[in-house]
Amino acid sequence: SREGRDGTRVRGAPRGDVWAKTKRGGAGMMVRVALLRGVNVSGAGKLPMTEFRALLAGMGLGRVETYIQSGNAVFDSDLPAAGLEVSIPAAIAGRFGFAPETFVRGAAEIAAALTGHPFAGADPARVHVFFLKEVPGALDETGLAALAAPGDGWHLSGRRFTLHTPAGIGRSRLA
């Protein structure tokens, strides 16, 4: 366990600064992050993290770590992200009976999401990053503006949509 941002102890949190380097394993091994949707939410999509880590290690992924009960994992792999986005939910379905939507990104892409937007000076608790399966077409800026709460802002960069909600995400109709 380690200390979280709020001072609480977080069991299972990735140790060290996994974002400091994009390579940490053997030759060709890249740091990858798997983000699973709908895992361990309101009793649905139950996925015990100990078993999830073992499943990923059994798939040949290295140095597997998970973050709390979120279904998010950090690991080393030389496999392409697109292939992992298929094989990870298939393996979960085979073992646990459901196949969560899975996004796999490299450490560099995750690190870029933290700063690659125009809200760098904003309260980080009010900046939300949504990873997308593919690059969308043009944004409907007029439609977004019609839904936005005062002060809301957004930024699209590739397969990433960043939303700034100064009044809180619960008050934004864009969330």
**Is it the case that residue 19 has pLDDT exceeding 80?**
no
In this prediction, residues 70-87 reach a mean pLDDT of 95
What is the structure's pLDDT at 22?
A: 43
**Is residue 167 within 8 Å of 123, Cβ to Cβ?**
no
Among 122, 116, 123, 125, CA closest to 156: 116
pTM beyond 0.85: no
**Is residue 78 within 8 Å of 28, Cβ to Cβ?**
yes
Rounded mean pLDDT of the chain? Answer: 85
- pLDDT band with cut points at 50, 70 and 90 for residue 25: low
